[in-house]
Structure 1
Amino acid sequence: MIEVIRHGYIHELRMARPPVNALNDDLLGALIEAIEAAPAHGARGLILSGGEKVFSGGMDVPYLLTLDRAGLKACWSRFFGAGRALARSPIPVVAAIAGHNPAGGCVLALCCDYRIMARGPFRIGLNETQVGLAVPDAIQFLLRRVVGPHRAERLVVAGAMVESEQALQYGMVDELTDAGEVVTRAVRWLEELLALPSGPMLATRALARADVIAALEGFAEPELEWFISGWDSPDTQAALKILMARLKK
């Protein structure tokens, strides 16, 4: 589920669940384990990568629809656990986004320190409302933090997906590069960062990212229950059925 590729002291965690790295219990569990184990295996920086055309298609909706309420709650809890693992990582993490990146994949990227995306007709965004899901404040905070409150409101309420150039303009990603070069550029960015005096850099990073950790840790049991309770609403179920029909085609 997760391929670990070593670039010296920088470890790339490549999601490997074809065709689109849809997030389910197994992939999310493997990702959490890999993030948490990396420092002990000599990693000083991490790269989170995915497929060449799709970084991650987000949560595996067909899989979620097979789960009972307990299973659904457990899977979504693991998803937020993966976000917290990225945010709490004691070493910097770069998202290397080589293709489209909707919904849950976008959330994971927003939990990273830095985002590099392929230049071209690739889209990224939190499109949850388009498939009938409300967006919790913890996730909205991640977007507000990088694009500002007003623009975040416009994007998240509409469930907008924007192309890479616009994503760069808005601040959703930090830089663009040619397709096929996102990992190479991620390695170089981390090498430059890790060349700084380690202690001061990591201490400053911890202070700078404390708000990300706090937002995700604030998504506790009551917030999860609120989120899951919306799953069975008529609007959500109708939108999910439309999505399923589209996926079957």
Structure 2
Amino acid sequence: MSLVEIHSADGIVELKLARAPVNALNPQLCNDLRHALAGAIEGGAQGIVLSGGTKVFSAGLDVPYLLSLGNDRAALMQAWEAFFSAALALAESPVPVVAAIGGHAPAGGCVLALCCDYRVMARSEDPSKPYRIGLNETQVGLVVPVGILRLMQRVVGVYRAERLVVAGDMVEAERAERIGLVDELVDVEDVASRAREWLTQLLRLPQSVMRQTRAIARADVIAALQPENIQLTRFVDAWGDPATQAALHALVARLGK
């Protein structure tokens, strides 16, 4: 059974992450997303909406699962390869992709959103509990790969990306819109429909010209996710560092409370 729900209408396909409770990105979800995206494109989709849960778009990589792999390097490599392959598939999509972010999007969830053409995020119904998005890897002892930093630089600028990524800052939705990390804020019930509206407007353009221009404009997104800019072997080596492991186990303990 796929962990990605597929809804299609008027040439636009919504791919909804559906791994309760928080769409933690394990290998199956990542592979299912990649296969669903390929199937939608092969089926003639003109645009894609990538959505997740309400309150949490995706909580990022499934840290408890990764920790359960222990020192099994092959399994760790396979899990991280599944994630970066899904991210690259989004970046390489020949048709535009909009992220419909219905809640928090930390770490891997933010990466998937950064691979999309456009980001529509929900504003929280409770102003005292705003939704947040960002690359918080340093807070759990992980170094952000060069390519992922470049994705952040692309949307917020070089210096601001440095400040956000070095601090592992999770940005409130309102600020995320101000600095360009997301493009629009809407009420949570309108996130997917607004994503579709944006796509519909884009699809009114001459498609061949739009797609060719888009490919030129987004070449740097694809380049950022090439192996030399991810350096997965080095990343997995760092995963096993005792300080990193301690931070990750502390994170899981906090989440379990």
Q: TM-score, normalised by structure 2?
A: 0.95
1:70 corresponding residue in structure 2: 74
* 2:252 corresponds to which of 239, 244, 249: 244
Q: Does 1:108 align with 2:112?
A: yes
User: How many Å apart are 1:41 and its aligned residue?
Assistant: 1.4
User: How many Å apart are 1:7 and its aligned residue?
Assistant: 2.4
Moved over 2 A (4+): 218-221
* 2:232 corresponds to which of 213, 224, 227: 224
1:86 corresponding residue in structure 2: 90
CA distance in 2, matches of 1:107, 1:145: 12
* 1:192 corresponds to which of 195, 201, 205: 201
CA distance in 2, matches of 1:109, 1:50: 11
Identity over aligned pairs, percent? 60
* 2:48 corresponds to which of 40, 46, 55: 46
Q: 1:48 to 1:231 in 2, by over 3 A?
A: same
User: How many Å apart are 1:218 and its aligned residue?
Assistant: 4.1
* 2:99 corresponds to which of 90, 95, 98: 95
Query: What secondary structure is seen at the aligned counterpart in 2 of 1:180?
Result: helix
Q: 1:220 to 1:168 in 2, by over 3 A?
A: closer
Unaligned 5+ segments in structure 1 are none
Which string of whole-angstrom CA distances, capped at 9 and with x for unpartnered residues, describes residues 117-174 of structure 1? Answer: 0123100000011011110000000000000000000000000001110000111001
Unaligned 5+ segments in structure 2 are 125-129
How many residues of Structure 1 are paired with residues of Structure 2 in the alignment? 248
1:202 corresponding residue in structure 2: 211
CA RMSD of aligned residues (A): 1.0
